[in-house]
Amino acid sequence: MIYTVSSLLAAISTSSTSLISFRVLHGIGSAMIFATAVAILSSMFPVGERGKALGINVAAVYLGLSLGPFLGGFLTEHFGWRSIFLANVSLGLITIAFIFWKLNGEWAEANGEKFDFTGSIIYSLALIAIMYDFSLMPAMSLIFPNCREFIAKK
């Protein structure tokens, strides 16, 4: 729902600041989808059908990754940039309808479990530190001029 609502908000945004803010929310919703999809599929399907369900999931992800740039370009050229987000809204609404129709809440096995705030904060800080370090890598060639040659030899 976060992904779909943020797509709608991005489509109707009136400033670059609001668009960026809604895209951040959009990214959070997308990360939640990708982080939980396999777990939900694994708990919903019996062992004998799990491989088929996971295979369909992987095929759908790679189909989206392959068609995304083409469809995004097509939509942008013919209908404007907002159409990309509106397409996400329509797909999101269809997906939400299927979730309420098919899942029936029986996959939620974590009743009573508490969210690990400490672990999520540590994980977030570690991820930020790693990404920040990656952003500094181009400058490392200035500090260590032979670094590229060393890496190329390996």
Cα R_g (the chain), whole angstroms:
20
Tokens 């399907």 locate to: 45
Angle between helices 16-44 and 2-11 (to 10 degrees): 160
Mean pLDDT over 128-144 rounds to: 77
Using 50, 70 and 90 to split pLDDT, how confident is the model at 105?
Answer: low
Percent of the chain with pLDDT over 70: 84
The model's pTM: 0.66
Contact 9, 25 (CB under 8 A): yes
**Pairwise CA distance, residues 2 & 27, whole Å:** 9
- Retrieve residue 29's tokens: 């919703």
Q: What is the mean pLDDT of residues 51-61?
A: 92
C-alpha to C-alpha distance for 72 and 69, rounded to whole angstroms: 5
